[in-house]
Amino acid sequence: MKRDATEPAPMVTVVARGRSSGGERRALSSGDRVGDYVVASLLGHGGSGAVYRVVAAAGGGPARALKVLHADLASSREAALRFEREVRAIARIRHPNVVAVHDVGELADGSPYFAMELLDGVDLRAHLAAEGRLSVDETLSILDPLADALSAAHAQAIVHRDIKPSNVFLADAGGGARRVVLLDFGVAKLLDESGPAITGSRQTVGTPTFMAPEQIRGLPTDQRTDVYALGALLHVLLTGETPFPATSALLPQLHLHARPPRPSARAPVDPAIDEVVLRALSKDPGRRQQSAAALLAELRSAAGRAALPAGAERPAVALHVEARADGAALDDAEPGLLDDLETIQPAALARLAERGFRAAVEAGHAALYVLDPGALPGGERAARRSAVEAARALLGALASRPARDPRVHVALCLHAAPARFAGGAPAGGPLLDVAAWLPEGLPAGLFATPALLEGLGIEAAPAGAVARLG
């Protein structure tokens, strides 16, 4: 038996193969059954567990990544609580730039696991190793969604406490676009948690290279602790080097007492950016930017890449998804047909969120999802191409959905136009005026407006004011 990751109940037992004759669990192998999944391969090992690629035992659906706590840690109260806290933290946030958890459970030996989305791409550590220091524009393209993810976590009273390149993943979102994803909430602090403490009040958790002074001292932490780590990460992105040497035996003392070097002393960085980084790395939390969003805003201002003023519009992309049933079928609809209709939008939201879309308008069995090109590298054209790929993938997934009723049809239509955003969410503009660009009575299939297709070189068959995509 398993449970949904959002439920607060304790983890429950799931019978799984993968035990030796002596009763000790061996590493899972290809073909082993874990709950609703079958192990396909080992993806890697971490300090607390192993991660496997798994597929649905019943067939169909996307592959997942399954993280299993190491067997020798399963009996540790602290390790088990940290593992479960990671699941609860991720489930509370539910943000497109935070890795998504789908379900949790336990192996027969008591080792907990959780299944999360399987990401294709590289982590930021590997990207930096290949590229060296990054440009200001690329740094902003990474820091923008990362700060948004942290803001969402902080809004849920969650402090990550382990921001570092290996915990930031650059996932392939198709069409040359990428999705920045924050990983590993294993040492996250839930500020509103009333349960038993996992560590002693003076115990240090985190990664020393990016650790704030209050973390090193074992003092209380809050969102400004993550701001410090963001400052250290920003230093790495702009210079290719950590503020203090990671191999130094004096690393904790350097974080506690030494003044960090100016980025402009190590790389061709505008001196105006120095103050932003050094402020984030202040020893006193009260002297830092008080939020991830504030740090991002200061960086944009110093770099001359100011965010658009409130109320300003910028190019964006929308995907309208509508599910409907044959008219006669609704006259005396049975539960199966209605259930099928109800599955369309949740499935669309889950898949499109992985591509960076946000739900903007919902009405009955229709919804509008918006993609902000400003959150993706490559600009507006790359975002339009990525949206076409996402829509095609969604249409294919919906066509093969379980218990599909042939009387239920899905119509999708893509459009590009200016939109206004507030707090990263679509809030108005021509793009959200759906009646102005969506043809009435659109048949089932995938369609796009000329504004969306302009300059992409994608073949499409004219269908009135829009074009059908093959």
Half-sphere exposure for 83 (CA within 13 Å, toward CB): 30
Half-sphere exposure for 389 (CA within 13 Å, toward CB): 17
Which residues neighbour 201 within 8 Å (Cβ) at sequence distance 6 or greater? Answer: 218
| Nearest in space to 393 (alpha carbons), one of 90, 120, 72, 54 | 120
Which member of 148, 162, 184, 340 is catalytic? 162
Q: Coil, strand or helix: which one is 307?
A: coil
Q: Which helix or strand (DSSP H or E) is residue 43 part of?
A: strand 37-45
Strand partners, 462: 467
Q: Which two tokens mark 138? A: 């690329």
In the chain, % helix, strand, coil (3-state, to 5) comes to 35, 25, 40
Q: Which two tokens mark 396? A: 């294919």
For tokens 């659906």, name the residue. 61
Amino acid found at 54: V
For tokens 């599909």, name the residue. 404
What is the C-alpha separation between 180 and 63, in angstroms, rounded? 20
- Rounded to an integer, what is the distance from CA 8 to the centroid of its chain? 21
Q: Which two tokens mark 213? A: 């002074």
DSSP assignment of 137-185, as one string? HHHHHHHHHHHHHHHHHHHTTEE-----GGGEEEEEEETTEEEEEE---
Which residues neighbour 7 within 8 Å (Cβ) at sequence distance 6 or greater? Answer: none
**CB neighbour class for 331 (10 Å; exposed up to 12, middle 13-18, buried from 19):** exposed
Handedness of CA 421, 422, 428, 429 (dihedral sign): negative
Q: Coil, strand or helix: which one is 3?
A: strand
338: left (phi over 0), alpha (psi -120 to 50) or beta: alpha
- Is 162 annotated as catalytic? yes
Task: Judge whether 343 and 351 are in contact, CB under 8 Å.
Answer: no
Task: Judge whether 373 and 421 are in contact, CB under 8 Å.
Answer: no
Task: Judge whether 252 and 208 are in contact, CB under 8 Å.
Answer: yes
Q: Residues with catalytic annotation?
A: 162
